[in-house]
Structure 1
Amino acid sequence: MTGSGKYNDFETMRGSIAASGCDIVTVAVRRVQTNAPGHEGLAEALNWSKIWMLPNTAGCKTAEEAIRVARLGREMAKLLGQEDNNFIKLEVIPDPTYLLPDPIGTLDAAEQLVKEGFAVLPYINADPMLAKRLEEVGCATVMPLGSPIGSGQGIQTAANIRIIIENAKVPVVVDAGIGTPSEAALAMELGADAVLINSAIALARNPVAMGQAMGMAVNAGRLAYHAGRIPIQALASASSPLTGTISS
């Protein structure tokens, strides 16, 4: 999954998204609705017959705001030809400094939106108990952060993400903080089902090349997860056999 914000222009955005090979692109409903800088014409800038739209509630500080914006997002998807799109990336973020999600507001909004037939993809802190509670109320995924949005700090919450993955019966998407392809690969090696990346691609010196690199890293990380890494050992283990060696 990729985001659609922070690009210098639509041509670069389209090229980066195509190069990444992503299946889903998230769009900030409120910013598109208000024609916020960089979002004018965004909804029309992509071919939504080929990409699945994930409307998000970015900018919402309360559960009530998020529920209202989610309803607008569903209508926006329908207007753009995705009649059966009930997806919503749920963000409830009252914190303006670190942009950390509100767990209580997120849970409250998720419960209501699930009742209204939404496929809810909640953005959360890497809290295993909250992840399980959101799964229990019917969310389609859980989306724990690797580190704060746009920080590029990488996967700082690996231990908790592992616990979430071990216990989840829904897909786990690592969202926020990934800065490099190696970090995207790490998220997949942990067992995540997907990652959502925006800033690391959009703000790279060459966004199109970074989009391609991220796509390759995600595939490599997923393949490595299924292949299974070797056990970590305290002592060295020779890679060449000791039998049949030449002796003096």
Structure 2
Amino acid sequence: MLENDILQIGNKNFKSRLIVGSGKYPDFKTTYDATIASEAEMITVAVRRVNITNPNEENLLDYFKHTNISFLPNSAGCVNAKEAITLFRLTKEATGIDFIKLEIIGDTQKTLYPDVIETLNACEVLAKEGFNILAYTNDDPVMAKKLENAGASAIMPLAAPIGSGLGIQNRYNIAFIKAAVKIPVIVDAGVGCASDSAIAMELGADGVLTNTAIAQAKNPILMAQAMRDAIKAGRASYLAGRIPKKPYATASSPNDGLLEFN
């Protein structure tokens, strides 16, 4: 069943439901090895921090040019709509990439929570210019719907603060967002281990994006493989349909036909 389970985001189709990041690795080689191990088909790149536009310097694009892995430029480091719009216009001009992760941070000092108003404003402009936008946002189903109406191709709600590793702290909100929108919901931020990814998928998320959990694991390659397998297991569990929760025990074996001993 999972072989034909395709994730469609905007005008692209993916077999893998895991998206990985490129930050916090010691070098591009480790980034490449972990990404290949994860079997992800898309990797995010913070354009203001990682070079993909200057061919005269070490370029992450060179490591992946012979693979089927797509780059997902993100606007990490941008604090308002104007900065993000300008960044993506320049990135598109330099690379031709119009598949983007829109990320505008409101609190840059402590929580790294998104500024949803600026995100919405940027989404409206960029969508009209033909960008496929994966919008990073808080865990609010109302804002998720507004971003969908503004032209987003996918909603990326946080599960916990960026890089915290706290896991899924808002299960009901993730489920509410999934019910509120018709576009894919990709859980982003807060994943700490493979079981967190499995939980996100069992909640009905269409995919998971994780960076720190892999990049800063003691063994990034092994963690990448674990995330890969957890995504598949969580998706299969969701599609299979879990049993309902009950307040009391239910015998695994039926009572009918029990032998009586005197």
| TM-score when normalising by structure 1 | 0.92
Q: Tell me which of 58, 61, 75 is aligned to 2:93.
A: 75
Q: Does the CA-based 8 Å contact 2:72-2:100 persist in structure 1?
A: yes
Q: Tell me which of 82, 86, 97 is aligned to 2:98.
A: 86
- Decide whether aligned partners of structure 1 residues 169 and 182 sit closer, same or farther in structure 2, where only a CA change above 3 A counts: same
**How far apart are the structure 2 equivalents of 1:181 and 1:218?**
8
- Decide whether aligned partners of structure 1 residues 20 and 49 sit closer, same or farther in structure 2, where only a CA change above 3 A counts: closer
Q: Which amino acid aligns with 1:62?
A: N
Tell me the number of residue pairs that the alignment of Structure 1 and Structure 2 aligns.
Answer: 239
**How far apart are the structure 1 equivalents of 2:28 and 2:133?**
27
CA drift of 1:44 comes to 2.4
Tell me the alpha carbon deviations over residues 181-235 of structure 1, each in whole angstroms, 9 at most, x when there is no partner. Answer: 1110010011111110100000000000000000100011111111110000011
CA drift of 1:98 comes to 1.1
**How far apart are the structure 1 equivalents of 2:221 and 2:94?**
27
**How far apart are the structure 1 equivalents of 2:226 and 2:94?**
31
- Decide whether aligned partners of structure 1 residues 169 and 48 sit closer, same or farther in structure 2, where only a CA change above 3 A counts: farther
Unaligned residue ranges in structure 1 (runs of 5+): 79-84
Unaligned residue ranges in structure 2 (runs of 5+): 1-18
Identical amino acids, percent of aligned pairs: 51
Q: Which amino acid aligns with 1:65?
A: E
Task: Supply the RMSD in Å over aligned alpha carbons.
Answer: 1.7
* Residue aligned with 1:191, SS: coil
Tell me the alpha carbon deviations over residues 155-197 of structure 1, each in whole angstroms, 9 at most, x when there is no partner. Answer: 1121111100012110000000000111100100111111101
CA drift of 1:95 comes to 1.4
**Residue matched to 1:119:** 132
Q: Does the CA-based 8 Å contact 2:51-2:60 persist in structure 1?
A: no
**Residue matched to 1:226:** 239
**Residue matched to 2:43:** 25
**How far apart are the structure 2 equivalents of 1:185 and 1:155?**
10
**Residue matched to 1:171:** 184
